[in-house]
Amino acid sequence: MKHVTYAEKAHLMGDDAADALVEYARALALADTTETVTLRAIDLHGNEVEATFLLSASTPILVESTNSGLEVPGNEEIVVNMRHATAALLDPPAVQPEDRSGDPRPRFDEEL
């Protein structure tokens, strides 16, 4: 479990969610873009909450380890999505040639 501090508020969440969040924020900053991510977390009062993070190049996020014995809120699907999005930002797919077989526009080598 880790503390994630964002906008002067701390939330507890699983290690995988906290680590994926900070890596995704880094990838978004490198790509000069923004995104929002909603994760289940535990607030300072011990309540399970959904926290939405606005991630951008100027987003300060602090992730700290903790020895909390609380049950980790489930974020498995969101973590997988963030990891895929992070990979796509850091290593985008190569550009593929366009398939023009169904293109209705005339080609330059065709008669009109």
pLDDT in tens, the chain (112 residues): 999 999 889 999 999 999 999 999 999 999 999 999 999 999 989 999 999 999 998 889 999 999 888 889 999 999 999 999 999 999 887 776 666 565 554 544 545 4
Q: What is the pLDDT of residue 96?
A: 63
Residue 13, strand partner residues:
2
Q: Shortest CA distance to 35 belongs to which of 83, 85, 84, 79?
A: 85
CB of 18 closer than 8 Å to CB of 6? no
CB of 73 closer than 8 Å to CB of 48? yes
Q: What is the pLDDT of residue 97?
A: 64
Q: What is the pLDDT of residue 110?
A: 47
Global pTM value = 0.80
Spatial distance between the Cα atoms of 50 and 16, rounded to a whole number of angstroms: 16
